[in-house]
Amino acid sequence: MRELDLSSESFRATTGRYATGVAVVTATVDGIDHAMTTNSFTSLSLDPLLVLFCVERDSRFHEAITATASFSISVLPASAQPAARWFAERGRPLIDQFSEIPHVRGVQGSPLLSAALCWIECSISQIVTAGDHDIVIGAVEHLLVSDDDDEPLVFWKGRFRALPGS
């Protein structure tokens, strides 16, 4: 065991030891589709049904999510790593960013990635400021689950990975 200094780099290295699932959050604003890869998605409440994700306040996606009333989550399988990388890339073109990514429109109009393990459509319930991020809390409006039994994509120690044995 070793103690690390209290820096953002040490904090990232430390919290990176916690494996998380990977999802893509999408929203549509004025007919333009927005997306970001996240590993900060989690369920929050069973009564009422709530989920949350965190978004950096100086990101392009933050501007979109604060200008809309709804969003969608696509939880990714290991085979969707290219999509996860694409939607994590800063500065990618906004227009036509979904042109190479198979998707359908959800009930609320946001893109749902076709290859996902499940999809959750939400209305924004609350946005809470915390440090350099905002916590976006969504009230669950629609749930869809894939019939495929694919393994999930995980993020651990700063890298996308498949579960061992998958």
Q: Which of 43, 51, 69, 47 is nearest to 124 (CA)?
A: 69
Structure token pair of residue 138: 């969504």
Q: Determine the 3-state secondary structure of 63 from DSSP.
A: helix
Does residue 1 sit within a domain? Answer: no
* Structural domain containing residue 108: 21-162
Q: Residue 133: which CATH number?
A: 2.30.110.10
Task: Find the mean pLDDT for residues 148-161.
Answer: 92
Neighbours of 102 (CB within 10 A): 11
Domain count, the chain: 1
Instruction: Decide if 15 is inside a domain.
Output: no
Phi, psi of 146 (to 5 degrees): -70, 150
- Residue 16: the pLDDT is 86
Is residue 166 predicted with pLDDT exceeding 60?
A: no
- The answer as to whether 13 is a domain residue is no
Q: Answer whether residue 10 is part of any domain.
A: no
Q: Is 87 helix (H, G, I), strand (E, B) or coil?
A: helix
Query: With 80 as the cut, is the pLDDT of residue 20 above it?
Result: yes
Report residue 121's pLDDT band, with 50, 70 and 90 as the boundaries: very high
pLDDT at residue 165, as a whole number: 67
Residues 6+ apart with CB under 8 A from 115: 76, 77, 79, 80, 83, 102
Residue appearing with tokens 């969707």: 80
